[in-house]
Structure 1
Amino acid sequence: MAKLRVVHYINQFYAGIGGEEKADYKPESREGAVGPGLAFTAAFKDEAEIVATVVCGDSYYNENMEEARKEILDMVKAYSPDLFIAGPAFNAGRYGMACGDISSLVQEELGIKSMSGMYIENPGADIYKKKIYIVETKNSAADMRKAVKKMAALALKLGKEETILSPEKEGYMKRGLRKNIFEDKRGSERAVDMLIRKMKKEEFVTEFPMPVFDRVSPSPAIKNMAEAKIAIVTSGGIVPKGNPDHIESSSASLYGKYDISKFSDLTCEDHETAHGGYDPSYANQDADRVIPVDILREMESEGRIGKLHDYFYTTTGNGTAVASAKSFAAEIARELVADGVNAVILTST
């Protein structure tokens, strides 16, 4: 049997071109495997080969979507592949969005089976998992070896048109699709078995899992704003000029705490944004557009609020794991309560 022909999509980083400074890199195709494609080649053994790799900068794709789509579809079509693989994108948000979008288009418009791999919190996963198979990965490239192994196994089954089993068995994300299957026991028996296990506090697996939502009770209303101490917390990435703590532009692993006690207005000379998920031009011109220090100082001088807290807290929200965000929030909250802060203005982008 002839090898399956595969076209692989990666971003500028995994192609070895550069990081954020090269995120506007225009689409190009290269013969054979590049970067992570070499790992796929090893995993495929003699059953498939990457005939071409398509490279595109994350910013270019997301900011020039119509042009990028057309260019890349033409590149893929020229190689007549049996299969299209994008990523894995892990928790990189713009990369995940590009992988999901181009994979779904290749499948819909060219009729070529397509798939990707992402961390479950990647925004691309939630948007595209019903359109294509997305293998669930960890949140960073440290999981590359395992991610490629799972993706390659599913890719070969897709390419050979073999039956795709359940998400639990194949490792892809649940797509919200239901299939009729035959079981040894009727539904009523299985339900009673589960109930008995639950009553005995034994482990059981429900056949109809319910979604779990975070529920946060709102704090009581501030009775007298004229006596309130207000703090600013932002995921918009505002930092002192030069980003002294090197907060990441995405998938942040830390947050910053910075003194604004001497500032009544933030300018391009003293503050900027570290955020890599939006056009930074306006935020870099005037950081007050993201954290309203100037307006809060006016309200403070007019007696409309009691005091603006001497420090603001900041991180970048794009691609940052929910677990990390919760950890940041818990630490920040403890400090604010200890400092006598009554209320927080939370800003995003």
Structure 2
Amino acid sequence: MAEKFKVLYYVNQFFGQIGGEDKAGMEPMYKEETVGPAMGFNSSLKGEGEVIGTLICGDNYFNENKEEALEYILKVIKDNNPDIVVTGPAFNAGRYGMACAEIAKAVVKELNIPVVSGMYIENPGLDVCKDIAIVAETSDSAAGMRKALPVMANLVRKIAKGEELGLPEEEGYIPQGKRLTVFAEKRGSQRAVEMLLARLNDEEFQTELPMPVFDTVDPAPAIKDLSKATIALVTSGGMVPLGNPDRIQSASAQKWGKYDVSSRDALTGEYCTIHGGFDPVYANELPDRVAPLDILKELEKEGYIGKAFEYFYTTTGTGTSVGNSVKFGTEIGKELKEAGVDGVILTST
């Protein structure tokens, strides 16, 4: 009987059965057993391989202490010498996805061990690792766990046994953007004409080179009279009151904040950035560099604009999923429209 290949599994604090958001700050730990989804995954290996242990780390801890977390995780993996590492599935959880992605990237690059993960197509972690790890496409929530694990296990079995993977749509993983040379029965010109004819006849066809789809937004009508307009300030630069009272995430944001600035002439003094994607020194020195409330208030005093809106909106953009970005924009926009705001100054970093 062939020797079983060894799998080491990574999960966050929730799927590691440690706790929820209250345990998101836990440091990484290792258990020589199958925990959470690692149990179902192990069963899906059908006896050809086995999960030898489970790494668990809090989402907040990993994203706020990446170097320390990776140092521990890589040491555990190196000491146990698995044939393959599995992270997730993270579905559409941003912080979890970023942790899975960063671990995958580090394991492949530094230890030369293959990694399989699972994510929803809009997870911000996907772009970090899809070119270096195999990422199974999952639903956006843990409700898709039962479907995700067998797909991931099948990918792991093939990779661990040295078998060549089929096309992404056949195997259930997200395309890596690689173009491979393959032999086809028909030359390119014939395939192109057949696709064109199928399209003209409203028949099904599959393009050989999918193009990215970009959202289009029609510009709002111009403000007719700025001197009577109410202008709001919104930023993805992570500017928050000192202490970050609403605990907005420094990356892969899951929420936005709203703060009363009606009595302030500037953010400087009581605000700072919690953004994890840039050096905060100069932003913290003068927060209005990122979110220029000071200039907006000056324009109000000069009569150039009618009024600076009394509330300031903020979140962090780094690693935040497209889905959450759309959600935040819709929610904030609804509030601003209902409040009679005429225009918005939206700043980023």
**Closer, same or farther: CA 144–236 of 1 in aligned 2, 3 Å:** farther
Superposition deviation, residue 85 in structure 1: 0.6
SS in 1 for 2:162: coil
- Alignment partner, residue 301 of structure 2: 301
Report if aligned partners of 1:229, 1:343 keep a CA contact under 8 Å in 2. Answer: yes
**Closer, same or farther: CA 288–22 of 1 in aligned 2, 3 Å:** farther
Which has the larger displacement, 60-69 or 218-227? 218-227
**Which sections of structure 2, spanning at least 5 residues, go unmatched?**
none
RMSD: 4.1
Which has the larger displacement, 184-193 or 291-300? 291-300
**One-letter identity of the residue aligned with 2:303:** G
Which has the larger displacement, 208-217 or 135-144? 208-217
Deviations 1:175-234 (A, max 9, x none): 111122222322222111111111112221111122222244555665754332212345
**Closer, same or farther: CA 10–259 of 1 in aligned 2, 3 Å:** same
Aligned positions of 1:160-175 closer than 5 A: 160-175=161-176
Residues 1:343 and 2:343 aligned together:
yes
Report if aligned partners of 2:227, 2:304 keep a CA contact under 8 Å in 1. Answer: yes
- Alignment partner, residue 93 of structure 2: 92
Deviations 1:252-309 (A, max 9, x none): 788787776677678999x9999999999xx99x998976656544542342321123
Report if aligned partners of 2:260, 2:312 keep a CA contact under 8 Å in 1. Answer: yes
SS in 1 for 2:119: strand
**One-letter identity of the residue aligned with 2:17:** G
Residues 1:73 and 2:36 aligned together:
no
Runs of 4+ deviating beyond 4 Å: 217-224, 234-241, 243-269, 271-280, 286-295, 310-321, 330-340
Residues 1:46 and 2:47 aligned together:
yes
SS in 2 for 1:123: coil
Report if aligned partners of 1:92, 1:319 keep a CA contact under 8 Å in 2. Answer: no
Report if aligned partners of 2:4, 2:48 keep a CA contact under 8 Å in 1. Answer: yes
Aligned positions of 1:317-328 closer than 5 A: 321-323=321-323, 325-326=325-326
Superposition deviation, residue 64 in structure 1: 3.5
In the alignment, the residues of structure 1 paired with residue 278 and residue 118 of structure 2 have an alpha-carbon distance, to the nearest angstrom, of: 24
- Alignment partner, residue 196 of structure 1: 197
Report if aligned partners of 1:93, 1:318 keep a CA contact under 8 Å in 2. Answer: no
Residues 1:183 and 2:184 aligned together:
yes
- Alignment partner, residue 61 of structure 2: 60
The count of residues paired between Structure 1 and Structure 2 equals 348
**One-letter identity of the residue aligned with 1:345:** I
**Closer, same or farther: CA 100–328 of 1 in aligned 2, 3 Å:** closer
Aligned positions of 1:1-349 closer than 5 A: 1-216=2-217, 218-219=219-220, 225-234=226-235, 296-310=296-310, 321-323=321-323, 325-326=325-326, 329-330=329-330, 333=333, 336-337=336-337, 340-347=340-347
Superposition deviation, residue 57 in structure 1: 2.8
In the alignment, the residues of structure 2 paired with residue 64 and residue 313 of structure 1 have an alpha-carbon distance, to the nearest angstrom, of: 27
**One-letter identity of the residue aligned with 2:137:** E
Q: Which TM-score applies when normalising by structure 2?
A: 0.79
